[in-house]
Amino acid sequence: MSIVNGVNPGVFGSLPDNAFEHVGPIPEEQNLIVRPPTTYWQDAWRRLKKNFLAMCGLYVIIFFIALAIFGPMLTGYTYFGQVLQDANKAPSLAHWFGTDHLGRDELTRIFYGARISLSIGIVASVINLAVGALYGGISGLVGGRTDNVMMRIVDIIYGIPLQLVVILLMVVMGSGLLNIYVALGLVYWLGMARIVRGQVLALKEQEFVLAARMVGADQRRLLLRHLIPNTMGPIIVTLTLSIPQAIFTEAWLSFIGLGVAAPMASWGVLASEGVGGLRSYPWQTFFPAAAISLTMLAFNFLGDGLRDALDPRLRR
């Protein structure tokens, strides 16, 4: 039996014509993309929404921010309203969280304290981003001796306990909200600098950076337009986890008398004021401490969720 064009006619010659079906052109519907394309951030948000604890943390943070902004308007009491005959009253319908030793509504003071504590965490994170990202980015991009010198400075500062540095700065500058901003801003950028430097070292040898260099991009444009935007995932996670650390540090400083000065009161000041009557009036310590704990848990849950959501290796 002969083979024509590589096909043995004896194999197909015995099959009837109705055994074959003409397929015809492929319908255009089969060429359409069923699932719409998603960007990196859309996919990260999709995966973040599936993390129950992270979403709970996000809702708690939004809730506390809303209470800090609008809460004092809803209680009917003022921040400085002293009514001595109402001193040390237990929680009731008139005062949901009780009163302090001067008869001030504890719930209203917690709302005002949320403004101070949350603002300290946010300001510290902004300084952390501005200083740490630029410092680490410059160190990783330039490299060589400059990188060695810059990172040795970070290692020296990092070798001293950060809380000890903050205490020394507060002792020198004195207590006050502005001084807390400065003290935290001077030391809380070290971890961010290390993370950004490592990311930049890994990215600067990739093809898109080489392409940017070929079209004439200078060092400043490479850093601000290409490298730092591609490290936003680790940066956002680090910022989210640094906010509760700053809030706790401020609360601890205020607790030992080095934080916010009177008449302002953060959550740490409120907890410190209530410790003296802990056995007799436990609500004066419990509610500020609960606010600190819930906020720290919320930011940590959100940070863990963002770490998983922004990891490109987990993208499906």
Q: How many CB atoms lie within 10 A of CB 312?
A: 9
Q: What is the pLDDT of residue 156?
A: 86
> C-alpha angle 44/46/52, rounded to 5°?
105
190 versus 16: the higher-pLDDT residue is: 190
User: What residue type is assigned to position 19 of the chain?
Assistant: A
Is the pLDDT at 13 greater than 70, yes or no? Answer: no
Of 107, 88, 87, the C-alpha closest to 97 is 107
Contact 113, 100 (CB under 8 A): no
Cβ-contact 292, 247 below 8 angstroms: yes
The model's pLDDT over 150-194, given as tens digits with 9 standing for 90+, comes to 989 888 888 877 777 777 877 777 777 777 888 887 788 888 888
Mean pLDDT check: name the lowest of 3-17, 126-140, 228-242. 3-17
| pLDDT value, residue 123 | 87
Find the Cα–Cα–Cα–Cα dihedral 59, 60, 66, 69, rounded to 10°. Answer: -150
Q: Which amino acid is at 114?
A: A
32 versus 236: the higher-pLDDT residue is 236
What is the pLDDT at residue 28?
59
Q: Which residue matches tokens 């490592």?
A: 198
112-121 pLDDT per residue, tens: 888 888 888 8
pLDDT for 37 equals: 67
Range in 22-36, 221-235, 285-299 the model is least confident about: 22-36
Instruction: Name which of 11-25, 235-249, 258-272 the model is least confident about.
Output: 11-25
Q: Say whether pLDDT at 122 is over 90.
A: no
From 23-37, 161-175, 250-264, the region with the lowest mean pLDDT? 23-37
CA separation for the pair 287, 279 (Å, rounded): 14
Mind listing the pLDDT tens digit for each residue in 56-113? 999 999 998 998 888 878 877 777 766 767 777 788 887 788 887 777 888 888 888 8
Mean pLDDT of 200-213: 84
Q: How confident is the model at residue 1 (pLDDT cuts 50, 70, 90)?
A: very low
Distance CA 150, CA 128 (A): 16
**DSSP result, 124-158:** HHHHIIIIIIHHHHHHHHH-HHHHHHHHHHHHHHH
Answer yes or no: is pLDDT of 2 > 50: no
CA-CA-CA-CA torsion sign (249, 184, 64, 294): negative
pLDDT per position as a tens digit, 138-157: 988 888 888 899 989 888 88
CB count within 10 Å of CB 237 equals 21
For residue 151, the one-letter residue type is M
Angstrom CA distances, 70 to 65, 106, 177, 268, stand at: 9, 16, 21, 21
Q: What span, in angstroms and rounded, lies between the C-alpha atoms of 260 and 266?
A: 7
Helix (H, G, I), strand (E, B) or coil at 262: coil
What's the distance, CA 60 to chain centroid? Answer: 14
27 versus 202: the higher-pLDDT residue is 202
Q: Compute the distance between CA of residue 85 and CA of residue 76 in angstroms, rounded to an integer.
A: 18
**Domain annotation for the chain: domains and CATH numbers:** 48-70+95-314 (1.10.3720.10)
Confidence (pLDDT) at 4: 45
Find how far residue 104's CA is from the centre of its chain. 33
